[in-house]
Structure 1
């Protein structure tokens, strides 16, 4: 009997070790987002000191102040925008080798919330700053003013993509109707870029949502009257989190629902 007990205990410890190692390897495979190397580009700005021109736009975050992004935002040229999958990514940007640079400013950190569309009527070195394949940052004016004199208009910059540091959990804004749910994922930490999203009603299995645009995903399903959970996978790192019971069965479109989980 004692030998059987020892065998069972040994088997149990081995099984626990295998499960632990497997989980660690899985997390390593879908790793935590790390800062990327510095690279060179240019930056301009749009709007005024209030950053009111940054509200809404192509990512459909809505009011960036209410959504927690404030004025530290940037529109990406299409080379970086990645058909909207780059929405929510974060960058450190510093002015580089220009007389307009603020000497005491190391860098500023911004979130990508908009697309800077190409201007094919202008050459890429004189007005068409966001024309592909050019890498360009069109910053909100308050963000630009943190690194350079706004009168310069355009400055060379060094940039790198960094993890997004967020307070609190993922947030979801609902739009749609009884047969179509459109959800905007906001306050996304880690890599910041949602690559896949699923929704689960309290009476359904997981339903794959299709990418609508920017940070929004949609499901053509009847989900009214059900509590909703969401599963999200980041585009870059392939990390996945599940936000259980984000919205109660009485959820309504037009409201924001918060979870207690986020990416790191």
Structure 2
């Protein structure tokens, strides 16, 4: 290969290399305190206890990433950018709440914020700073042996009002629509996004409920269906497992 050909190959390859490494967005992060350093069960996503303990309590409140609730359940790698103090991997945190800080994209639980440091001394320093410069990127959520589940929200009232939360949405997927099968009309009827990750309807079908939901991810938009997703005698607070695993 001649000198000119080698030079041309380098010119062609460099943009690809730069693009593949340019995956993080710079921002700032702070933390919130709780008695046990976990999340809060009253977060804006409506997850309840799941939102407090998922990912061992490595959870976050966000503002612009909240996206009117569509961002609930998204996972992000967050790492601070003070070389003497910061771990190379940072923390993988799940969005479970809405919160605005001082020009921050993340308000991390104390348990998640502690993962930013590379030693106990550095972690103490970062907590003393209160707000730190970070870089972040969306990453796939990973749940060991966890299929998708539907939780009947505590605000539901059998049989006239049904609200649900979809949990363990793995991969880099967002739930953008949920529909229930209306047998008497032979059609799918949409649920309303009540708030956060909570979907509801004031006239749920009688009998066991077939459900489908729209997933937005790396493969684009697709519909997935769960037959008999919720039994006819559903109960408030109950969790119903499916055989569906997203990735």
TM-aligned CA deviation for residue 41 of structure 1: 0.8
Residue of structure 1 aligned with 2:166, choices 172, 175, 185: 185
Equivalents in 1 of 2:65, 2:161: separation in Å? Answer: 30
Cα deviation digits, residues 211-249 of structure 1 (max 9, x gap): 11111111222434x112221112453232212222222
Structure of greater relative contact order (alpha carbons < 8 Å, 6+ residues apart): 1
The residue correspondences of 1:106-117 to structure 2 (distance < 5 A) are 106-117=89-100
TM-aligned CA deviation for residue 75 of structure 1: 0.6
CA contact (8 A) 1:168 1:260 kept: no
Distance 1:187 1:168, change over 3 A: same
Residue of structure 1 aligned with 2:105, choices 115, 121, 136: 136
Residue of structure 1 aligned with 2:178, choices 182, 191, 197: 197
Q: 1:246 maps to which residue? A: 229
Distance 1:71 1:36, change over 3 A: farther
Residue of structure 2 aligned with 1:258, choices 237, 241, 245: 241
Q: 2:142 maps to which residue? A: 165
Query: SS of the counterpart of 2:28?
Result: strand
Distance 1:72 1:239, change over 3 A: farther
Unpaired runs of 5+ residues, structure 2, are 1-20, 118-122
Unpaired runs of 5+ residues, structure 1, are 1-34, 118-127
Q: 2:196 maps to which residue? A: 214
Q: 1:24 maps to which residue? A: none
Equivalents in 2 of 1:49, 1:101: separation in Å? Answer: 25
Residue of structure 2 aligned with 1:60, choices 46, 51, 57: 46
Q: 1:125 maps to which residue? A: none
Q: 2:130 maps to which residue? A: 153
CA contact (8 A) 1:85 1:235 kept: no
Residue of structure 2 aligned with 1:40, choices 15, 23, 26: 26
Equivalents in 2 of 1:49, 1:106: separation in Å? Answer: 26
CA contact (8 A) 1:179 1:223 kept: no
CA contact (8 A) 2:47 2:96 kept: yes
Equivalents in 1 of 2:22, 2:205: separation in Å? Answer: 40
Query: SS of the counterpart of 1:206?
Result: strand
Q: TM-score under structure 2 normalisation?
A: 0.76
Equivalents in 2 of 1:69, 1:196: separation in Å? Answer: 25
Q: TM-score under structure 1 normalisation?
A: 0.72
